[in-house]
Amino acid sequence: MDLNKFAVDTNKEQDGVWFYFDDKEESGVLVARAGNKKYNKALERIMKPYKHAIQRKTIEDGLAKKLMTEALVEGILLGWKGIELDGKEVPFSKETAFKILMDEKYHDFKETIEGYSQEIAAFQQEAEEADLKNSKNG
C-alpha cells in the first residue's frame, strides 16, 4: 500500500476548505481540519483557567459547551458566505458565529461544521499532487 493515500495538505488543514451547501457554490463554510495547530493552541489557552475543573470532571456542561464553541470559532470555522437568517445575509464574524453556534436551535449547523472538520478526504493532497511528488522524489 502506498502511504501517499494518507498524505495531507497541511495548508488545507490550517487555512481551511470550502464546503458548499448548494451546487452553485453561493453558500458555504470555510472549515479547517479538526486538531489543527491553531485550534489546539486556542483550545489549550481557552481551557487553561478551567484545567482543575476539567481534570476533576466538575466543569459545568454549559461552560464546557461555551469553551469548546470558542475554540471551534477560533480554529475551525474560518468563514462563511451566503449564510442568511430570516432572509437577510449574515456577514461572518467570530462574534456572530459564536452566538449562532451557541444557540441550541442551530445545533445541527454546528454539528455539520464539526463533521466537515473531520472529513479526511477533504484535507488530503490531491492524487495528482501526490503523483507529482513521487515523480520528483523517485
User: Mean of the pLDDT values across residues 16-42?
Assistant: 95
Residue 98 in any domain: the answer is yes
More confident residue, 54 or 110: 110
Query: Is 3 inside any structural domain?
Result: no
Q: What is the pTM of this model?
A: 0.85
Return the pLDDT at 131: 44
* Spatial separation of the C-alpha atoms in residues 32 and 16, rounded to whole Å: 4
> Which residue carries 449562532 as its cell?
100
Cα separation, 96 vs 57, whole angstroms: 29
| HSE of 62, CA atoms in CB hemisphere, 13 A | 2
Domain count, the chain: 1
Domain assignment present for residue 4? The answer is no
Residue 136, domain member (yes or no): no
Where residue 18 falls among pLDDT bands split at 50, 70, 90?
A: very high
Structural domain range at position 108: 9-120
User: Is residue 60 in a domain?
Assistant: yes
Alpha carbon separation from 88 to 19, 34, 84, 85 (Å, rounded): 21, 30, 5, 5
Average pLDDT, the chain: 90
What is the percent of the chain where pLDDT is above 70? 91
